[in-house]
Amino acid sequence: MISEGLFKELNSQTNYEFASAHLYLAMQAYCEAQDLPGFSNFFKVQVEEEKFHAMRFFNYINQMNGRVIITSINEPQNEFGSMLELFKETLKHEQEITQRIYNLMNIATEEREHATISFLKWFIDEQVEEETTVTNVIKRLERIGDDPAALYMLDQELAQRTFTPPTTV
């Protein structure tokens, strides 16, 4: 049975995932203002992924007979100096999410809450993928430097990214 403390942390993560979608929506808006529709699309996909993650937590809490509590969302960062700065902030945010998932896993492990351990394994794998994707974009942006043609090519590539919800979770 899930403890009240673990339910509280799962609720906190649910809200954090919604806040992450809010942050990525602000990043999408920034990219739109920079006339970079491919970068905007990258963050549009991130918004959808974070909402999907939030709802996975939401549904899990309900499935385990817990009570979801929705809290307010703080204003996200809206201004960035460059695409490179934007993606470095994105990586920092993803690393924070990873640490939060690890903390949940630590609590679930300490409490021997096997259903929650199983549930969280998917998120650990997902975070490896998220951090790798963002790191790869950062490396490319660092190589691009101030080359507008290369930035345009990357923008066109990022426009192809789509969100497909996993069928087995």
CATH of the domain at 57: 1.20.1260.10
**Is 67 among the domain residues?**
yes
First to last CA, the chain: 21
**Is 145 among the domain residues?**
yes
**Is 12 among the domain residues?**
yes
Structure tokens at 94: 């993803």
Distance of CA 102 to the CA centre of its chain: 14
The span from the CA of 27 to the CA of 40, in Å, is 8
Residue 65, domain extent: 4-158
61-80 pLDDT, tens digit per residue, is 999 999 999 999 999 999 99
Q: Is the pLDDT of residue 99 over 70?
A: yes
**Is 169 among the domain residues?**
no
Structure tokens at 106: 């630590």
Q: Are 108 and 117 in contact (CB under 8 A)?
A: yes
Report how many domains make up the chain: 1
**Is 154 among the domain residues?**
yes
pLDDT at position 68? 97
Q: Are 61 and 15 in contact (CB under 8 A)?
A: no
**What average pLDDT does range 111-131 have in this prediction?**
97
**Is 167 among the domain residues?**
no
pLDDT at position 164? 87
The span from the CA of 136 to the CA of 138, in Å, is 5
**Is 15 among the domain residues?**
yes
Task: Output the CA–CA distances (angstroms, integers) from residue 49 to 12, 55, 141, in the order listed.
Answer: 18, 10, 23
**Is 163 among the domain residues?**
no
Report the SS3 class of residue 121.
helix
**What average pLDDT does range 91-100 have in this prediction?**
98
